[in-house]
Structure 1
């Protein structure tokens, strides 16, 4: 009974399973058909792409072969042209002969002339042949006859311009950077003269500027215009065409030299000024005293307010003393006067000795600074060392300049003081001698008479 029921259940379950399997098979067949159609489409597209690529490859191969054949043709033509060019160059060398050397000479001459046109002041107005000269300089082939004619005409124009005085108008830039047009006179190829004096010509920028330093008795435009009227025959010219005038700008002035001396130089100048003041004051004082003494010598009875008068006053006051006491009093008065006469002279002597020592100090300081600069920057550029060397030299010069007049003033004033002291000593000695004579006369008068001597 149980087996029968199991068999019935199996039969009932197999019915839906069979139906599901058939549907799966049917679906698989449909998908297979669709896949076959898709593969056929892809195969057709691949075949079509293959045909297109093959056609493009064939076209590129044909183009490569054509280019290769063209390259071979051009190579053969290039080789043929090279051979022909070599023959033509050889024939050109044979035909030209020494024209190559001539072209070198002509081109070098044109370069020199171009440099002259750009540098010389004739470039202000003599410019008509500048393009021709530039063409010859820039040319890569032999110059033509037109260019050669222009070259010698340009040279002739330069020669003529170098020997004439021409009134020109030049672009001028002043110290404030303002540009204007000035009337000037071109002195051949030597220089330009305007109302400011000599002008510095810049051919590269085609402008002119005034030199910072003008030479002494340098010409001006008005002076040159009146040369014939005033009969002037000579003017100051710069034959170097501006080189010497440029050097005037580099020439240091007195202020620059004093500045280069530094602090030591200023101290030396201060000592010189103080010493000069002392020397002038003492010189005037000694001259006045000498005049007063001369007047006192003419009138010795009235003692004035001067060294000799004060010595005479001491004599009048102390003449009742003994000769020895009077001599000491007069000597004391003379010594006092000598101190007044020599007042300030020791300071002059000190300044005269101190000035060279300060100059030596500045020299040593400047050389130390120079060696420091050499240590830092080397000795390749002298301008770097110029500051220390200038200080070293300027202080030495200032020390000697200060010492010599101070020493001379000290010597002169010492001599004057010594002369005055000699006059005082002579007058003092004469007063002592006079007093001694008076005392001797008194002793001779007051001496008692002896009997034997009277008989």
Structure 2
């Protein structure tokens, strides 16, 4: 059993040299192949390096040639520019002036109503503006004709066909009157011309007294045309739509403004009623002064009735008692005459206070808007500022007539009270004179 393994080990040891030689031969072959590959790769790299160096030299030479050519071209260009400047002289300035005027006329014709029927002139002007060289004689003549056409078109009123967009958004072609270079006009009023869209539409708000028929008739008869025109060519008409009406200004006052207006109306109604009553009372007093023996239903008549009441009964009253009775009657009449005047005074004092309240409320609203949206756009703050200013104005407007009415009515009431007091004092004086004369009569009779 132990002899078999020993035999196998011996055979393996004897085969080792053969295997080592075979492995050495295989490794040598592989090394030779690798060495040959390395040599071939090195040769290829040398050839590629040489080719790249040759290409770099070629490109460097071309770059040097181009730089030299560029330098020569720069020098030649500078010489020719100087030569061109000397040869053109003032023609360069003329070209600048021509282009500037052509661009100005081009803008005028493209944006103004004068350019509606002048498309050919606009084409010629576009060529001059876009040109890079001096204008030709034909182009200068075309620009002159465009200027002449613009001047002639600016002084005449003539019918033109344009596309008009109505309030419903429908677009139709109709004949309108062109008022020189100022604007377009149809049967409904002035039209806002949009040159980019080649269409016109009515302004939101129109001035009064504008009709196409009247202008057309005046032109046909050769009469002088008189109408409200916008020399700013639409700027004032556009701002006219932004001008607030009285209703818009009152609406800007908000709730506080409505309260102030209500106070003003109530105060004016009170003043009107009291004024009519005072005027009626004054007329009745004037009539009563002519007939003092017949007391009527008026303040003076009631005062006279107090004096004649006991006199008709045959009773004798002392001066002191009559004076007190007349004073009581005058006070009663004075209360009736001054009725409602205290309310007028209160409303006159309350109106500016409400205006101040609206001012503070409007400023609070303005600051809230500034906090939310910032102060970059003044339009977002316009509502609060309008409320602040409008309520202040309304408060002052309401206070002034109320104070005036209160003062007038107070003066009328005071005047009537003076008449009543004067008549009362006269009756007291008459009674005092009678009492003073009575003892003398008694003595003389005795």
Instruction: State TM-score, norm by structure 1.
Output: 0.77
**Structure 2 equivalent of residue 220 of structure 1:** 211
d(CA) in 1 for partners of 2:72, 2:387 = 78
- What is the DSSP-based 3-state SS (H/G/I as helix, E as strand, rest coil) of the residue aligned with 1:336? helix
- 1:161, CA displacement in angstroms? 1.3
User: CA 1:200–1:321 in structure 2 vs 1: closer, same or farther (change >3 Å)?
Assistant: farther
Aligned partner (choices 400, 406, 412) of residue 404 of structure 1: 400
Q: Identify the range of structure 1 (387-396 vs 321-330) with the bigger mean alpha-carbon deviation.
A: 387-396
Which residue in the other structure is 2:412 paired with?
416
| 1:208 Cα deviation from its structure 2 partner | 3.1
Q: Which moved more, 1:306-315 or 1:354-363?
A: 354-363
Q: Measure how far apart 1:158 and its partner are.
A: 1.2
Distance (Å, rounded) in 2 between the aligned partners of 1:338 and 1:107? 88
| Aligned pairs for 1:263-412 within 5 A | 265-293=257-285, 303-319=295-311, 320-324=315-319, 325-355=321-351, 394=390, 397-412=393-408
2: CA distance, partners of 1:333 / 1:295 = 20
Match of 1:100 in 2: 92
Q: Rg larger in 1 or in 2?
A: 1
Aligned counterparts of 2:220 and 2:394: Cα–Cα separation in 1 = 47
Q: Is the counterpart of residue 203 in structure 1 residue 195 in structure 2?
A: yes
Matched, 1:161 2:153: yes
Cα distance change on mapping 1:124 and 1:226 into 2, 3 Å:
same
Q: Deviations over 1:249-280 (max 9, x none)?
A: 44343234445556665554333222211110
Change (3 A) 1:389 1:321: farther
Distance 2:150 2:333 in 1: 82
For 1:32 and 1:147, the matched residues in 2 are separated by 97
Q: Unaligned stretches of 5+ in structure 2?
A: none
Matched residues in 1 for 2:56 and 2:436: separation? 156
Deviation at 1:285, TM superposition (A): 1.6
Rounded Cα–Cα distance in structure 2 between residues aligned with 1:271 and 1:309: 35
**2 CA distance for matches of 1:39 and 1:338?**
142
3-state SS of 1:128 partner: helix
Displacement of 1:449 in angstroms is 4.7
Task: Count matched residues.
Answer: 440
| Shift of residue 201, structure 1, vs aligned partner | 2.7
For structure 1, the residue ranges without an aligned partner over 5 or more in a row are 1-8, 451-455
Q: CA RMSD in A?
A: 4.3
